[in-house]
Amino acid sequence: MIDEIIEVAGAELPVDERLVIRKRRLASERAGAGAKRICVVTGIHGDELEGQYVCHEVARRIRENPSALKGIVDIYPAMNPIGIDSITRGIPAFDLDMNRIFPGNREGDMNEYMASEIIRDCKGAELCVDIHASNIFLTEVPQIRINQLHQDVLVPYARRANVDFIWVHGSSTVLESTFAYSLNDIGVKTLVVEMGVGMRVTREYGEQLTDGIFSLMKAAGIWSGSVPEVREPVISYDQRGEDVHYLNAPVSGIYVKEKAHGSLVREGDYIGSILDPLRGKDAVKITAPADGWLFTTREYPVVDAGSLMGRILKQEVYDRCKENGENGTENTI
């Protein structure tokens, strides 16, 4: 088996340092020119670390059973290496969201150049999984988000990925500059995973998604080993933005959550409260506006008026998926 570290892109920094993006390539010795390839990508946002465990675990399991590897697995654990090193979500020194500069530009500035080299490197892959971890404020159940423009191609794959939820959302021009959009645009089927919370590693989610990645690899003919049964996700086709209730803080304060993410809630259930430790007023109670599935909860306590505290998938959407319905069909790719 080939197991090597390759520099994907590099640039000179002003003082005695290079900016380098590296990947680890695991490939079957017999993987020839036509071999299928999957890219496992994370760390575009430097404060999202859930994907770190997945990168480690995917490689570990392959090394455990190298003969089952039929294609190429490229693992990119740090798309924004100085962001990860400095607990910075964006690209440090530029105050720039790296997920808004794709597909990049070879003739552009350093960051646009790096972005274009990344796209060049991933081009031609069969599949790509771009792992995000929400942000430091919100915890998410493992989910895949899909732009409606790519739903026909991606949903069948997403269902193999062992996530709890697939959220198909409406398109917007702003999202055209994301890594996933750019890759899907050139025919690399790219799934955006959001799971867990920023600045933390949730091992259980890492294991869950790793199982999903092996299931995808098997379906794509990259892996011939046995793979665990994957779970049936809830799917929301939410192009019009009507499937989800957003809970925004009515006042500023300290948010204390009552219900964990992944809970089923009933209208009126107590989900959390906002405290005012200075004025000592009664806590503002946050209740569920309707029955549903609380798939996002707020983790970071300080809220401004407007801050997101949670998202609830409407009960009827949840039920439709759970009672076979449109999900009961054969899992074919």
Partner 1 sequence: MERKILYKVDALYRDDFRVTGFQFGQGEKSICIIGSMRGNEYQQIYACSQLVRKLKVLEEKGRITKGKSILVIPCANPYSVNTKKRFWTIDNTDINRMFPGYDLGETTQRIAGGIFEQIKDYRFGVQFASFYMPGNFVPQVRMMKTGLENVELARQFGLPYVVLHHPRPFDTTTLNYNWQIWETDAFSIYTTSTGEIERGSAAQAVDAVLHFLSKQEIIRYRGHEGYQSRVVETRDFVNIRTERAGFFESRVKAGERVLAGTVLAAVTDPYTGEIRQIITAPIDGTVAFVHNETLAYQNTAVFKLIAEEDVL
Residues near Zn ion (CB under 5 A) are 45, 48, 132
Between 132 and 314, CB nearer to Zn ion: 132
Question: What is the three-class DSSP state of 111?
Answer: helix
Between 186 and 251, CB nearer to partner 1: 251
Least distance to partner 1, CB of residue 208, Å: 28
Tokens of 154: 């991606």
Between 35 and 96, CB nearer to partner 1: 96
Q: What Cα–Cα distance (Å) separates residue 130 from each residue in 76, 77, 155, 179, 308? A: 9, 10, 15, 8, 24
Q: Which residues bind partner 1 (CB under 8 A)?
A: 11-16, 89-90, 93, 95-96, 100, 108-110, 112-113, 135, 137, 173-177, 246, 248, 251-254, 276, 278, 302, 304-308
How does strand 284-287 pair with strand 270-275?
antiparallel
Query: Do 73 and 222 form a contact (C-beta atoms < 8 A)?
Result: yes
Least distance to partner 1, CB of residue 108, Å: 7
Least distance to Zn ion, CB of residue 170, Å: 19
Query: Do 188 and 123 form a contact (C-beta atoms < 8 A)?
Result: yes
Least distance to partner 1, CB of residue 5, Å: 22
How does strand 138-147 pair with strand 189-196?
antiparallel
Q: What is the DSSP letter of 186?
A: T
45 binds, among partner 1, Zn ion, none (CB under 5 to 8 A by kind): Zn ion
258 binds, among partner 1, Zn ion, none (CB under 5 to 8 A by kind): none
Between 246 and 270, CB nearer to partner 1: 246
Between 176 and 319, CB nearer to Zn ion: 176
Amino acid identity, position 119:
I
253 binds, among Zn ion, partner 1, none (CB under 5 to 8 A by kind): partner 1
90 binds, among Zn ion, partner 1, none (CB under 5 to 8 A by kind): partner 1
Distance CA 160, CA 217 (A): 10
Least distance to partner 1, CB of residue 267, Å: 19
Least distance to Zn ion, CB of residue 180, Å: 10
Residue 287 β-bridge partners: 270
109 binds, among partner 1, Zn ion, none (CB under 5 to 8 A by kind): partner 1
Least distance to partner 1, CB of residue 253, Å: 5
Distance CA 34, CA 23 (A): 20
Between 99 and 162, CB nearer to partner 1: 99
Amino acid identity, position 210:
T
Give strand ranges (E) for the chain.
Answer: 2-13, 17-27, 37-42, 72-76, 127-132, 138-147, 165-169, 189-196, 234-238, 244-248, 253-257, 263-265, 270-275, 284-287, 292-298, 302-303, 308-314
Between 155 and 284, CB nearer to partner 1: 284
87 binds, among partner 1, Zn ion, none (CB under 5 to 8 A by kind): none
Least distance to Zn ion, CB of residue 42, Å: 9
Tokens of 304: 């401004």
Between 71 and 310, CB nearer to partner 1: 310
Residue 18 β-bridge partners: 12
